[in-house]
């Protein structure tokens, strides 16, 4: 596999799952998956614990530079404030046929950090609620 440049990653938000708006000025973005584990240890387990994956959740962590004019950042901040469920799309790189991940979820954390003499930073955490779809980018 070829080396992939991280600056090509895109995170987008959509109210309807059809029209997406990129969240601009992102400097880092990560998508992670976590599963709860269900215990199925029994008398035949030979003294070793047995588990299997149960409920799963996806999380997007992003950081960037705040831009008050960016409509994607504004929508992200609004969803943190009103706690409304939205669609989110994560593209680790942006070429036709490359994977993208789409899910409905919530903005669980949103922060705008200011420091004298520095550009204002933005960070956010998005958590899935329901199924995550992996598909090829158009």
Considering the domain boundaries, does residue 82 fall inside one? yes
Phi, psi of 129 (to 5 degrees): -140, 95
- Domain residues for 104? 6-36+51-136
Q: Across residues 98-109, what is the average pLDDT?
A: 97
pLDDT tens digits, 30-54: 999 998 989 988 898 888 888 888 8
Considering the domain boundaries, does residue 17 fall inside one? yes
Angle subtended at Cα 80 by Cα 132 and Cα 119, rounded to the nearest 5 degrees: 110
Please tell me the predicted confidence (pLDDT) of residue 53.
86
Predicted confidence (pLDDT) at residue 118 exceeds the cutoff of 50: yes
Of the two residues 128 and 94, the one the predictor is more confident about is: 128
Considering the domain boundaries, does residue 45 fall inside one? no
Considering the domain boundaries, does residue 43 fall inside one? no
Where does the pLDDT of residue 1 fall: very low under 50, low under 70, confident under 90, or very high at 90 and above?
very low
List the one residue out of 104, 98, 91 whose CA is nearest residue 26: 91
Considering the domain boundaries, does residue 44 fall inside one? no
Number of domains into which the chain is organized? 1
> pTM, whole model, 2 decimals?
0.87
Tokens representing residue 74 in the block: 């504004």
CATH number of the domain that 97 lies in? 2.30.110.20
Considering the domain boundaries, does residue 101 fall inside one? yes
């Amino acid at each position: 596999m070829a080396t992939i440049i991280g600056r090509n990653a895109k995170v987008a938000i959509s109210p309807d799952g059809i029209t997406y708006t990129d969240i601009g000025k992102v400097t880092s973005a990560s998508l992670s998956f976590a599963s709860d584990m269900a215990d199925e240890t029994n008398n035949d387990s030979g003294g070793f614990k047995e588990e299997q994956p149960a409920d799963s959740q996806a999380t997007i962590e992003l950081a960037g530079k705040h831009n008050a004019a960016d409509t994607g950042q504004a929508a992200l901040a609004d969803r943190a404030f009103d706690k409304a469920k939205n669609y989110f799309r994560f593209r680790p790189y942006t070429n036709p046929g490359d994977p993208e991940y789409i899910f409905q979820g919530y903005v669980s954390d949103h922060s705008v950090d200011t420091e004298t003499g520095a550009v204002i930073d933005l960070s956010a955490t998005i958590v899935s609620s329901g199924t995550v779809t992996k598909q090829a980018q158009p």
